[in-house]
Amino acid sequence: MSRYKGFRVVPLASAESPLSEHQIQAQFIKAINQIPDPVLQTGFAIPNAAKRSYALASMLKAEGFRTGMPDWCLPVPAGPYNCLWIEFKVPKKKPTPEQLAVHDQLRKVGGLVYVLTSADAAIEVVLSYLRQRAI
């Protein structure tokens, strides 16, 4: 049972107007920021492959940017895992082959990777993950 009973995200979309991946992730971040657990403040987003200028793309690559990385990371060990990774997708959209390869690499080094289609699902995954922490 969650310490945060009754916590839910209010959807901003309908079946006629589904949320974008950005909107799903933004809802998730807004919700996570409302939960009074300082460990959640260590989570961070990873920039996606949005359209960029050649100069900015080169600069990001030089700084270590890797395509295919999940959208969000919680770098906190819990249970048998060293960190949690979340990839946000709109319903019915699948990860690219490059993303799947990165997910496999992250799992091989002890990460837990989820591909999720709603902020509610992401919050449940994070809270479940955190319940595995040694206290």
Q: C-alpha angle 75/1/90, rounded to 5°?
A: 55
Comparing 115 with 6, the larger pLDDT belongs to 115
Q: CA nearest 21: which of 41, 45, 38? A: 45
Range of the domain at 89: 21-130
Q: Provide the domain count of the chain.
A: 1
H or E segment at 123?
helix 119-130
Confidence label for 14 from pLDDT (cuts 50, 70 and 90): very low
Residue 33 lies in a domain: yes
Taking only the tens place, the pLDDT of each residue in 83-121 is 999 999 999 999 999 999 999 999 999 999 999 999 999
Is residue 87 included in any domain, yes or no? yes
pTM summary value: 0.82
Q: Is residue 37 part of a domain?
A: yes
Tell me the Ramachandran region of residue 120: left when phi exceeds 0, alpha when psi lies from -120 to 50, beta otherwise. Answer: alpha
Note whether residue 6 is domain-resident: no
Q: What CATH number does the domain containing 27 carry?
A: 3.40.1350.10
